[in-house]
Amino acid sequence: MVRKRLAPEAAPDEPYLQIGEVAERTGVTQRTLRFYEEKGLLKPPTRMEGGFRLYSETDIQRLERIKRLKQLLGFPLAEIKEMVDAEEVKLQLKAEYRPEAALSQKKAQLLKAIEVTERQYDLIRQKVADLAEMQSKLEERLATFGDWMEQLERQLTANRKVKTKV
């Protein structure tokens, strides 16, 4: 687990990371990284001559988004993939905002992105609402527990008094 070799510093502009570094920094295993790649959740990163994977900062950001969605929503990876893909459309659009051609095609893409995002949004809104309700119920319950505890305490001290009296 000790990392002796330095990260490849050859890259001048962007700092590329090998799989071990990425694993360490993000807390996922190398296996998981390869697995996600296999499943299309992460797109194949660039490689060194010898085939070693080199992850860019954007790759890592995507991974973090995946982690987050997975943890927060608990959905199967296939759905997570869809969601992250939808985000990517946004970046794509922003990137190639130049070419004047194919405007209507761009519109179609944008429409789709909007649709997906809206679905996502509704889903999350619903979940927030449900969870909030659950939260308030738990609050109530904790209050009730507090009351009971007080009562119990009173009864206990009362008992002690009786016993010491006898």
Residues lying near DNA in the complex (CB under 7 A) are found at 2-6, 8, 10, 18-21, 29-32, 34-35, 39, 47-53, 70, 76-78
Q: Give the residue from 84, 89, 93 showing the smallest Cα distance to 39.
A: 84
Among 38, 82, 96, 118, binds a second copy (CB under 8 A): 118
The β-bridge partners of 47 are: 53
Among 26, 30, 56, 120, binds a second copy (CB under 8 A): 120
Among 46, 61, 132, 161, binds a second copy (CB under 8 A): 132
- What's the longest Cα–Cα distance across the chain? 97
Closest CB to a second copy among 50 and 104?
Answer: 104
- The CA distance from 56 to 54, in Å, is 7
102 part of the interface to a second copy, by CB under 8 A = no
Q: Give the residue from 63, 54, 51 showing the smallest Cα distance to 8.
A: 54
Q: Which residue has the tokens 């794509």?
A: 92
Q: Give the residue from 19, 118, 18 showing the smallest Cα distance to 7.
A: 18
99 part of the interface to a second copy, by CB under 8 A = no
* DSSP of 42-99: SPPPEE-TTS-EEB-HHHHHHHHHHHHHHHHH---HHHHHHHHHHHHHHHHHHHT---
Least distance CB 61 / DNA (angstroms): 18
145 part of the interface to a second copy, by CB under 8 A = yes
93 part of the interface to a second copy, by CB under 8 A = yes
* Residue ranges binding a second copy (CB under 8 A): 68, 72-75, 90, 93, 103-104, 106-107, 110-111, 113-114, 117-118, 120-121, 124-125, 127-128, 130-132, 134-135, 138-139, 141-142, 144-146, 148-149, 152-153, 155-156, 159
